[in-house]
Amino acid sequence: MTHDVESRTDELDDSSAALDHVVVENDDAPNECAIFPKAASEDRLLTNWLTAHGDSFVSLESMR
């Protein structure tokens, strides 16, 4: 199994709400997008994240 990972950080006006994400492109399963606070510590990242699978997310460019 191979994973292509794309990470992108966008600047937001309110830095307390700044999020980052990682998209994992899976060969044998739906792609996954993990979203998490940009400035979170490693300990906080264990519990402060969410994931979306397959068609649950789209690229920003496709929605513009």
Q: Tell me the pLDDT tens digit for each residue of 25-49.
A: 999 999 999 999 999 999 999 999 9
Provide the number of structural domains found in the chain.
Answer: 1
Is 64 domain-assigned? Answer: no
Percent of the chain with pLDDT over 90: 41
Is 29 domain-assigned? Answer: yes
At residue 55, the pLDDT reads: 81
At residue 28, the pLDDT reads: 93
Domain that includes residue 49, residue range: 3-10+18-56
The conformation of residue 44, written as its DSSP 8-state character, comes to: H
For the cut 80, the answer to whether the pLDDT of residue 9 exceeds it is: no
Is 50 domain-assigned? Answer: yes
**60/26 Cα distance (integer angstroms):** 20
**pTM surpassing 0.85?**
no
Is 23 domain-assigned? Answer: yes
**18/10 Cα distance (integer angstroms):** 8
Is 62 domain-assigned? Answer: no
